[in-house]
Structure 1
Amino acid sequence: MSPKPALVRIRGVSRRFRDTVALDGVDLDIAAGEFFALLGPSGCGKTTLLRVLAGLEHPDSGTVTLDGRDLLSVPAHRRPVNLMFQSYALFPHMSVERNIAYGLARERLPRAEIRERVAAVLATVGLGTEARRMPHQLSGGQRQRVALARAIVKRPRLLLLDEPLSALDKNVRAEMQLELKRLQHEAGITFLVVTHDQEEAMSLADRIAVLDRGRVLQVDTPVGLYRRPRGRFVAGFVGSNNLFRGRLRASGGLEVPGVGVLPAPVGAEAGATAGAAIVAVRPEGVRLAAADAHGTVGAEAVLSGTVLDVSFHGGSSRIAVTVAGLETPVLVTTSGPATVTAGARVTLSWDADSAVLIETEETTRKVGGETPCDP
């Protein structure tokens, strides 16, 4: 549940397009003043849900309320909801200020009020000196600010953003992530952003809903989602993860055939009994050390293997290590440049509390092999 009173309540919303189930019984609460993200791959249903909230799609079943009032019965143009499209959709023949004022003019507000509100929102987005310029004279980041200004100038209760940063290059995207957070805080409007970019969702949102095939798999804060993923899909989609399959022992550890016993939560503490399980360990939770001159490993080592690849990402390095008995390499993240090279023999270790139980035989059986939905 959301930490504040819910502004939007979505219950049992489903939408089917012929043989395709776009939304499958979606339940969500979005709090007033919250920056909420819908995260998932293409085709997961996030854009369909956005269109339902905007009034561009009607669900086959379910309810949506805003401030306790039925939203689905309200025509799109009368909803206190605004949608900012991925393409920004600015009028090329109108100046910045006329683009922003367009919606207010359509509502036939007094000209003095329109000028006042446009000037205020231009100051908020830092475009006060660009009011008379045309869209083609602006940078990509500036055009996005105009689109945002046009959306918030109408003071909606809920602002929907469809992949708002996808058209920007990396440097501008990072700048606009900070700008979006600042604008959301200053405007006091509830933001709902749709994105397939996990870094974008993690940096922007107060809470994130991960969707796959029309279902909500998990709702959590960015930190909670990263540290405690529920199920294989979330563990693999949100950041990188090392997944180990085996049998969870009641006394602690995961017994992996042909590999040995790996550090893992004690079954009772993880909320599961001993049995078949999947345990996840983030790459930054894995410690790497070089094997000694004879290729032997120390007492702390959990696994030993050979470095397959090393990639440098500026502040950190990603190292892939092949281990006998495991189908996929183990990923390790270290700070700064790596101290090992491809072909080196290394040892790997981690603490039990760095491992997360994400699936057991029991939960898999309950949902026919699929990760259960988050209620």
Structure 2
Amino acid sequence: MTDTIVAVEGVSRRFGEVTALDDVSFDIKQGEFFALLGPSGCGKTTLLRVLAGFEAPDAGTVTLDGADLLAMPPHKRPVNLMFQSYALFPHMSVAKNIAYGLERERLRRAEVKTRVEEVLETVGLTEQAGRKPHQLSGGQRQRVALARAIVKRPRLLLLDEPLSALDKKVRGGMQLELKRLQTEVGITFIVVTHDQEEAMSLADRIAVFEKGKVLQVDAPVALYERPRTRFVADFVGDNNLFDGTARPDGLEAVHLGLLPSATPAPDGTAAVLAVRPERVKLGAPGTGLLNGTVVDVSFYGGVSHVSVRVPGHENPVLVASQGASQVQAGAQVGLAWGPADAVLVPADR
């Protein structure tokens, strides 16, 4: 997976006083599952609309297989967009919904039939081919929308919050299904989502957006373990953030002393130390880096979440540990982590 299929260079888009996209640049590889992740209003959907041809940027270029994508009218682009609402035709059967785009292209009836049957088998809906959308579950309707998008064999499939209409349990199953389908059909997927868990579970790489800018593009593990900005550290997963001054061995935090980190940062600069809850170890008071009082203990999914109030630090420190925790609210504890467990990022980024 070394070939670049999409190259976005310096793309900007403004709506009056609002800058939706601010000099956005990144590449997407052939066959990649790429996620655009960020809060509402960060610009990710605007970029998706630029790729689909529904928006024209004020500046920048977008190429697909080396050709100028922006010069192509939307209906001529080898790109398909799967909408959040699925937008299925209620009066048509599953098979007819899937065949609609191919029939509009006036393909031979035999070829349409073959391709529809193939994609029905791929998404596991062969037995539902004659049903109408209202006779299907939410997950099945999602598969129909996906089948309709991939049956045209686009070079690029754009998905706008594709799983948001599903309940949590169905969504988890469809995440696996989406990943399987993407691998099986070999089409490059670009998904827009504000759901970090969805992005982390689906994507080969993720671009994190904030206020129209791309802050970091990385694989999920690198994004989680080595965020480069305060926003990314805070937005992607739970994190404990400490403000202070960078030192050769970590961060000097007011009221807390030196907190260790192995991340290099210019000595004396304002910085933020980020340490994940699962990297923080609970111990006896006086044996760690910090001391505090347990204020809450919750258990779910096989993991205990412990909140510890530390004097001199505004927010409780979160600790995550496997299994049921032995500590209770009100207990005095010590907190510790190793230098390799904490990341330093600049305070102003």
TM range (shorter): over 0.9
On the 8 A contact 2:247/2:266 being kept in 1, the answer is no
Supply the AA of the counterpart residue of 2:322.
S
Is 1:286 the counterpart of 2:283 in the alignment?
no
Counterpart for residue 255 of structure 1: 252
| Post-superposition offset of 1:318 | 1.1
Distance 2:204 2:27 in 1: 13
- Structure 1 range deviating more: 20-29 or 196-205: 20-29
| Post-superposition offset of 1:276 | 2.8
Is 1:307 the counterpart of 2:294 in the alignment?
yes
Normalising by structure 1, report the TM-score. Answer: 0.91
Counterpart for residue 341 of structure 2: 354
Distance 1:121 1:336 in 2: 43
Counterpart for residue 207 of structure 1: 205
On the 8 A contact 1:16/1:22 being kept in 2, the answer is yes
Q: Helix, strand or coil for the counterpart of 1:72?
A: helix
| Post-superposition offset of 1:68 | 0.5
Supply the AA of the counterpart residue of 1:246.
G
Counterpart for residue 243 of structure 1: 241
| Post-superposition offset of 1:98 | 0.1
Distance 1:226 1:102 in 2: 41
For structure 2, which runs of at least 5 residues remain unmatched after alignment? none
Supply the AA of the counterpart residue of 1:259.
L
Q: Helix, strand or coil for the counterpart of 2:328?
A: coil
Tell me which stretches of 4 or more aligned residues in structure 1 moved more than 6 Å. none
For structure 1, which runs of at least 5 residues remain unmatched after alignment? 292-296, 365-370
* Number of aligned positions between the proteins: 349
Distance 1:133 1:232 in 2: 49
On the 8 A contact 2:253/2:259 being kept in 1, the answer is yes
Supply the AA of the counterpart residue of 1:63.
T
Counterpart for residue 49 of structure 1: 47
Cα displacement string for residues 54-84 of structure 1 (whole angstroms, at most 9, x for unaligned residues): 0111111111110000011101011000000
Supply the AA of the counterpart residue of 1:239.
G
**Aligned counterpart for 2:155 among listed residues 139, 154, 157:** 157
On the 8 A contact 1:290/1:344 being kept in 2, the answer is no
On the 8 A contact 1:309/1:341 being kept in 2, the answer is yes
Supply the AA of the counterpart residue of 2:313.
L
Distance 1:97 1:290 in 2: 64
| Post-superposition offset of 1:51 | 0.4
Question: Counterparts in 2 of 1:110-189, with a 5 A limit?
Answer: 110-189=108-187
Supply the AA of the counterpart residue of 1:279.
L
| Post-superposition offset of 1:95 | 0.0
| Post-superposition offset of 1:271 | 4.7
| Post-superposition offset of 1:52 | 0.4
Normalising by structure 2, report the TM-score. Answer: 0.98
Distance 1:306 1:337 in 2: 18
Question: Counterparts in 2 of 1:82-121, with a 5 A limit?
Answer: 82-121=80-119
Q: Helix, strand or coil for the counterpart of 2:70?
A: coil
Counterpart for residue 220 of structure 1: 218
**Aligned counterpart for 2:269 among listed residues 268, 271, 275:** 275
**Aligned counterpart for 2:261 among listed residues 261, 264, 279:** 264
Distance 1:45 1:247 in 2: 32
Supply the AA of the counterpart residue of 2:152.
K
